[in-house]
Amino acid sequence: MKGAADIVESEGMAQRRAMAKAITLLESTRADHRVQADDLLQALMPHTGQCFRLGLSGVPGVGKSTFIETLGLHLIDKGHRVAVLTVDPSSSISGGSILGDKTRMERLSVHEKAFIRPSPSSGTLGGVASMTREAMLVCEAAGYDIVIVETVGVGQSETAVSGMTDLFVLMQLPNAGDDLQAIKRGVMELADMVVINKADLDLAAATRAQAQMVSSLRIMRMHGMHAEDSSAHMQDRIVLLSALKGDGVADFWRSTYRLLKKQRDDGSLQSKRQNQAAQWMQEKIDSGLRHRFEMHPAVKVSYAALKLEVIQGHLPPTVAARRLLEASLS
Ligand code: GDP
């Protein structure tokens, strides 16, 4: 397949063009494009999987783009090729992007060994996440051996990103209480590592935040989460950092790499990826079924009226749902 060969075999600008074209195809909602996109993904499949997929999340302003720029350049220095993708549902819902525009990561974005693609600008979170997963495969087939998927610390996008990456990193500010919010929102359970950024501003506060976080994790461990960790390992997973100055970035990478290697060696990475693939398939089935349901002529005709009856209390929701489901099968 020509499109796939262009991605796998070409280099430089020609490869970038082929990648951009492929990703645009993957993001198209036209049915005939979808068939081509699936053929392309299948052709790329044998060239994927040999990379490290890193997820990164944090509230706007925590320093994600600064960190990705510093880390990305560090990794390129070590001989890697780095792709950066984003999952930002806000860009499709409000038309504006929380993750900002192309001025982010100025040095990385012009580097020949980096490929940066902003979030798809249309679709639901599920749709945006799915397009990003597919774009990730394009990057891998093109030989990018590290893919960083970035998202914002709002809503469900973190669950989506942790569901498509090997390791999920949460970025925090060194504010007391910040960690409690993360625990409340359930993000800590997703995080394999926590980065406390801007440690240069107030090292004492950052160190306190680190200690708090370690003790929170210990409590979570008592409840069965991250149960495999010894305390020493937990310390490794909470990293102090200054993305702006670059302090701690090399340490972060060492810890990350160690964790990844451990997961690779003990087989947990493989089973994680297998589960993710199965889950992805299930999500596609669910969204496909929903789409078919919504597009069914009989459903379109009676949906609004039945919903009104439910809202007004004239019809039990279960009855309305059953009628619509039956109509969708006719
Ligand atoms: P994002 O919204 O999470 O991508 O955050 P940015 O990377 O755009 O950073 C937001 C602001 O914080 C920018 O003005 C950065 O220069 C600043 N910043 C990021 N990391 C650090 C850091 O480690 N130390 C300090 N002092 N400022 C930082």
**Index of the ligand 1 atom closest to the CA of residue 171:** 3
Ligand 1 centroid from CA 70, angstroms: 11
Looking up tokens 């993957």 gives 26
Specify the CATH architecture of the domain 46-266. 3-Layer(aba) Sandwich (3.40)
Is the entire prediction scored with pTM above 0.85? yes
**What per-residue confidence (pLDDT) applies to 222?**
62
Ligand 1 centroid from CA 201, angstroms: 11
**Index of the ligand 1 atom closest to the CA of residue 247:** 23
User: Is residue 247 in contact with ligand 1, taking CB distance under 6 Å?
Assistant: no
pLDDT in tens, 89-108: 776 656 666 666 556 788 89
Query: At 41, which amino acid appears?
Result: L
Strands (E), the chain: 52-58, 82-87, 114-117, 146-152, 167-172, 193-196, 238-240
| Full pLDDT tens readout for the chain, 330 residues | 778 888 998 889 899 999 999 999 998 888 899 899 999 999 999 999 889 999 999 888 899 999 999 999 999 999 999 999 988 777 665 666 666 655 678 889 889 999 998 877 667 787 788 889 999 999 999 999 999 999 987 668 888 899 999 999 999 888 756 556 666 667 777 888 989 999 999 888 888 888 887 877 777 766 555 545 555 566 678 899 999 999 999 999 999 999 999 999 999 999 999 999 999 999 999 988 999 999 999 999 999 999 999 999 999 999 999 999 999 988
**Index of the ligand 1 atom closest to the CA of residue 69:** 7
SS (H, E, C) 284-325: HHHHHHHHHHHHCHHHHHHHHHHHHHHHCCCCCHHHHHHHHH
**Across the strands, what pairs with 195?**
171, 239
**What per-residue confidence (pLDDT) applies to 47?**
93
Helices 12-27 and 2-9, packing angle to 10 deg: 140
Other CB atoms within 10 A of residue 315 CB: 17
| CATH 3.40.50.300 placement within the chain | 46-266
User: Alpha helix locations (H) across 110-171?
Assistant: 125-141, 157-162
Ligand 1 centroid from CA 184, angstroms: 24
**What per-residue confidence (pLDDT) applies to 302?**
94
Give the DSSP letter of residue 275: H
**Index of the ligand 1 atom closest to the CA of residue 98:** 2
Length of the chain in terms of residues written: 330
Per the CB < 8 A criterion, the answer to whether 56 and 148 are in contact is: yes
Measured by CA distance, the residue closest to atom 11 of ligand 1 is 61
**What per-residue confidence (pLDDT) applies to 217?**
72
Q: How far is residue 99's CA from residue 96's CA, in Å, rounded to a whole number? A: 9
Ligand 1 centroid from CA 57, angstroms: 14
